A and B are shown apart, each in its own frame.
Chain A
Amino acid sequence: MSQSTESLLSVQGLEKHFPITKGLFQRQVGAVKAVDGLTFDVVKGETLGLVGESGCGKTTTGRLITRLIEPTAGKIVFEGKDISHMSQGDLRPLRRDMQMIFQDPYSSLNPRHTVGAIVGAPFRIQGVKTEQGTKKAVQEILELVGLNPEHYNRYPHEFSGGQRQRIGIARTLALKPKLIIADEPVSALDVSIQAQVVNLLEDLQNELDLTYVVIAHDLSVVRHISDRVAVMYLGKIVEIADSAMLYKAPLHPYTNALLSAVPVPDVKRRTQRDRIRLQGDVPSPINPPPACRFHTRCWKAQEVCRTVEPPLAELLPGHQVACHFPENTPQDAGPAEPVAAAGDAGDQGIAPGVINPVS
């Protein structure tokens, strides 16, 4: 993976609030703060992984970047152009360079179109003429993703899940995009097929010099394919770092908890592992907890976490984290005690007033 510093995509203070309306006049009574202030860059040729639990806003982020929906606030800059509020008409030419792979290979392919029509659609829509005709170009792409070019006239239902996902990838690649947003590209596939598709994505990246933003909830898959990983919680990035660093020494307690919750296929370790067990569920994004959003479930939470929002700060080179009491730092003596934190009921679990700020 080529490591240039040129950023292909730059996101600043991105927000998306979905209004909640009520009554006859559709009066707005609140908002689902799906994405609430994201700032990150995607460097050319790298793979950025976005992880988090359901409802943390990772899919909304993917849709915002591809401008399938319009942001409430913030800026999206793609190849030096601000696309945050660009009209659909102006966006169309840019869509050649920015494509999406969808999660469900069953609902993302039109059942009444042949494979040839599906993969050929980008050429038709963008009015791209190829030297030897669209059919030839489509067959070349089918071959590239490991499908038989003779399947040009078949329909999606004749294929298995893994093959359908390859058709989706072929469509994505048709016009040689620069940036690909993959939203849960392998989670609907069987284990043995997942590995095939992961390898395919890696091969294509090396061959075509692609940049990926991979959205997934499976932390082991994300580690495998990402160069950098951003962890999201309730619409915000809580930690972003180089993949190796993040998995080896996570700074945010939430990242640490997520990693320790992943079941490991090792029988010997099942009794030895120190587990951090988060209590309760993710709070609602309609009314997220104030200040640090993770404080209701965090075992390290102090008064300051309830009142002051921690900024996303670069604690180590290339490793940003938003936490008042980060883990795995010199100040953090010994492993954290997994104390049961408050449930989803809010702040009541921990007695207030215990202030122990780290200098």
Chain B
Amino acid sequence: MSFLELKDLRIHFPTDDGLVKSVDGLSFALERGKTLGIVGESGSGKSVTSLGILGLHKGGRAKISGEIWLDGEELVSATPEHVRTLRGKKMAMIFQDPLSAMHPYYTVGQQIVEAYRIHHPVGKAVARKHAIDLLGRVGIPQPDRRVDSYPHEFSGGMRQRAMIAMALSCDPELLIADEPTTALDVTVQAQILDLMRDLQQEFDSALIIITHDLGVVAELADDILVMYGGRCIEYGSASDIFERPEHPYTWGLLGSMPRLDRERTDRLMPIKGTPPSLINVPSGCAFHPRCAYEPRTDGKATTKVPDLLETEGGHLVRCHLSKDERRGIWENEIKPTLESA
């Protein structure tokens, strides 16, 4: 069994308007030392998944079913108290907005010390030294002085570094980064991505990076999972997803982005329509109202949810089009327009 394995995870929230199926049957596996990128638009269920793995939906109104296996332990059926002992130590999270994820009343050092001492029976002085070490390692200048600074005294990039130091304080084996660079400028984003890559190699941890930016996942991820409407619609290695994508939604994402590495195209090719409401997910394939290839499925797309099937060597696609049709469309229709000047 893999280090982290999700089996048919479902996280549903009952609301006054109906049942919100944020995550609806998600399965994937991740090994130590590997990076998984989860890509999707807002409301696709990517953040809910990460909070679910950390057990942060326990005790709330969420209805969780399925299995989450972390290093041989099942977490969905585990008690909240037990998951709490794992959180921070075995798995940790880097949040999108470090200003709201850190406590404004406590110094950065105090917050790292607190996290460390919950899991390690050491004195304050030892923990403080550990915090200074970590701040130095994530590239904060003069860590012995900055350890006593408050979060507001740090710039955005430094706060994100401090956040990473906090997440790393107990050497977690699973690190989840939810939009870690979305709030940062490009030059700082590049610094943080480099840092995360280096630290992962050093700690040999499993990393899940959640983002809407395909550029960021292309930089870091070994494997990529594309989510839409609470389900995985395509999964594969980074080169599968970027060089041989087979799902119309993935094509749409690639066509929507203006790219600096290619000649400027005259027009972007957006996906029509808007992402679905999770209360009222379209019948059949959730993407069918926005899909240009829906007519080629003989109406199957509107009635039946396609299965997530393997096309080749671990590349999974959830689509009613046949493998040959998809490859034909990609090679003859999509790829030329993406690469044309």
A contact set with B: CB distance below 8 Å: 53-54, 160-163, 190-196, 198-199, 202, 217, 219-221, 223-224, 243-244, 247, 257-270, 275, 277-282, 343-345
**Given pairs A160-B274, A263-B215, 14 additional interface contacts (CB within 8 A):** A53-B185, A191-B256, A192-B256, A195-B256, A199-B267, A219-B186, A223-B258, A262-B215, A262-B260, A264-B215, A265-B259, A266-B261, A275-B190, A282-B185
Question: B58 within 8 Å of A by Cβ?
Answer: no
| CB of B269 within 8 Å of the partner chain | yes
- CA distance in complex: A194, B187 (Å): 22
Question: Quick check: A191 and B41 within 8 Å, CB to CB?
Answer: yes
Q: Evaluate whether A259 and B256 lie within 8 angstroms (CB atoms) in the complex, with A163-B274, A192-B270, A270-B218 already known.
A: no
Q: Which one of A198, A259, A268 contacts B258 once the chains associate, using CB atoms below 8 Å? A: A198
Q: Could you give 10 example pairs across A and B, Cβ below 8 Å?
A: A54-B185, A190-B41, A195-B255, A264-B260, A264-B261, A265-B257, A266-B242, A267-B239, A267-B243, A278-B190
Distance (whole angstroms) from the CB of A46 to the closest CB of chain B: 15
B268 touches A263 (CB 8 A): no
Q: Is the CB of A263 within 8 A of B42?
A: no
Residue in A199, A221, A281, A345 whose CB lies within 8 Å of B270: A199
The closest CB in chain B to the CB of A263 belongs to B215
A328 to B: closest C-beta gap in Å: 16
B86 part of interface (Cβ distance < 8 Å): no
B277 CB to closest chain A CB (Å) equals: 9
Contact A266 B218 (CB under 8 A): yes
CB contacts (< 8 Å) of A198 on chain B: these are 258, 268, 270
In the complex, what's the smallest C-beta–C-beta distance from B3 to chain A, in angstroms?
A: 23
Give the chain B neighbours of A264 by CB distance below 8 A: 215, 218, 259-261
Are A344 and B141 neighbours in the complex by a CB distance under 8 Å?
A: yes
- CB pair B253–A192 under 8 Å, yes or no, is yes
Chief secondary structure at chain A's binding surface: helix
Q: A264-B215, A265-B254 in contact; A192/B275 too (CB < 8 A)?
A: yes
Collect the chain A residues with CB atoms within 8 Å of residue B41's CB.
Answer: 190-193
Cβ A217 vs Cβ B185 within 8 A: yes
Contact at B260–A191, with CB atoms within 8 Å?
Answer: no
Could you tell me if A265 and B215 are in contact, using CB atoms closer than 8 angstroms? yes
Given A261-B189, A263-B189, A270-B219: A219 touches B243 (CB 8 Å cut-off): no
Q: Is B56 an interface residue (CB 8 A)?
A: no
Q: B274, A281: Cβ atoms under 8 Å?
A: no
Q: Is B188 an interface residue (CB 8 A)?
A: yes
Say how far B230's CB is from chain A's closest CB, in angstroms.
16
Q: State whether A196 touches B187 (Cβ < 8 A).
A: no
- Chain A CB within 8 A of B48 CB: no
Q: How far is the CA of A162 from the CA of B273 in the complex (A)?
A: 10
The 8 A CB mask of B250-285 against A (1 = contact, 0 = none) is 001111111111001101111110110000000000
CA distance A358 to B305 in the complex (A): 66
Q: How far is the CB of A341 from chain B (nearest CB, A)?
A: 12
* B142-181 Cβ-contact flags toward A at 8 Å (1 or 0): 0000000000000111100000000000000000000000
Contact of A277 among B190, B217, B259 (CB under 8 A): B190
Cβ-defined contact, B219 with A220, below 8 A: no
Within 8 Å CB of A260, what residues of B? Answer: 190
In this complex, the interface size class of chain B, counting residues with CB under 8 Å from chain A, is 35 or more
Name the CB-closest residue of B to A297. Answer: B187
Cβ contact within 8 Å between A258 and B187: yes
Chain B residues within an 8 Å CB radius of A217: 185-186
* Cα of A54 to Cα of B271 in the assembled complex, Å: 29
Cα–Cα distance between A53 and B184 once the two chains are bound (Å): 9
Contacts of A220 in B (CB 8 A): 257-260
Are B257 and A281 closer than 8 Å at their CB atoms? no
Residue on A nearest B141 in the bound complex, by CB: A343
CB of B216 within 8 Å of the partner chain: yes
- Smallest CB–CB gap between B302 and chain A, Å? 20
Residues from chain A with Cβ under 8 Å of B219 in the complex: 263, 270
Interface readout for B177-213 with A: 1 if CB under 8 Å, 0 if not? 0000000011111110110000000000000000011
Most buried by B among A160, A199, A263: A263
Instruction: Give the chain B neighbours of A192 by CB distance below 8 A.
Output: 41, 252-253, 256, 270-271, 275
- Tell me how far the C-beta of B39 lies from the nearest C-beta in chain A, rounded to whole angstroms: 9
B214 at the interface (CB under 8 A from A): yes
Question: Which are the 3 A-B pairs with shortest beta-carbon distances?
Answer: A263-B215, A195-B270, A195-B256
With A and B bound together, what is the CA distance between A243 and B194 in angstroms?
Answer: 28
Q: B189 to chain A: which residues have CB within 8 Å?
A: 261, 263
Interface status of B233 (Cβ within 8 A of chain A): no
Question: In the complex, what distance in Å separates the CA atom of A219 from the CA atom of B141?
Answer: 29
A252 CB to nearest chain B CB (Å): 14
Q: Which residues in A have their C-beta under 8 angstroms from that of B267? A: 199, 202
- The answer for the CA separation of A262 and B214 in the assembled complex, in Å, is 11
Closest to A280 in B: B141
- The answer to whether A190 touches B260, judged by C-beta atoms less than 8 angstroms apart, is no
* A344→B267 CA distance, assembly (Å): 40
Residue of A nearest to B41 (CB): A190
Whether B260 contacts A223 by the Cβ 8 Å rule is yes
Which residue of chain B has the shortest Cβ distance to A260 in the bound complex?
Answer: B190
The answer, yes or no, to whether B238 is at the interface (CB within 8 Å) is yes
Residue of B nearest to A203 (CB): B267
